Amino acid sequence: MKNIKPYLMAIIILLTFTLSSCELVGDIFEAGMWTALIIIVIVVLLITWLFRKIRR
């Protein structure tokens, strides 16, 4: 594990040749969008549940 730097460089070079930058950025934003959407839905459901518990 001490000589991981050559492997990292090889992975970075491989990614540079296989993925275009626009495609990579698009995939990152798409993953972030879905993650944010799921978190927002969970928070809204949690707040709704808490308000219903308080009112009873």
- Tens of pLDDT, residue by residue over 13-41, are 877 777 666 777 788 888 888 899 999 99
Instruction: Output the six-digit token pair for 29.
Output: 């934003």
In the prediction, which pLDDT does 7 show?
Answer: 80
Instruction: Give how many domains the chain has, as a whole number.
Output: 1
Per the structure, the complete domain to which residue 40 belongs is given by 5-55
> What value does the mean pLDDT take over residues 4-14?
78
Question: What is the distance between the alpha carbons of residues 27 and 38, in angstroms, rounded to a whole number?
Answer: 17
pLDDT at 1: 55
Taking the complete model, does pTM exceed 0.85, yes or no? Answer: no
C-alpha neighbours within 13 Å on the C-beta side of residue 18? 6
Whether pLDDT at 49 is above 80: yes
Residue type, 16: T
Structure tokens at 31: 């993953």
Q: Which two structure tokens, joined as six digits, stand for 32?
A: 């972030």
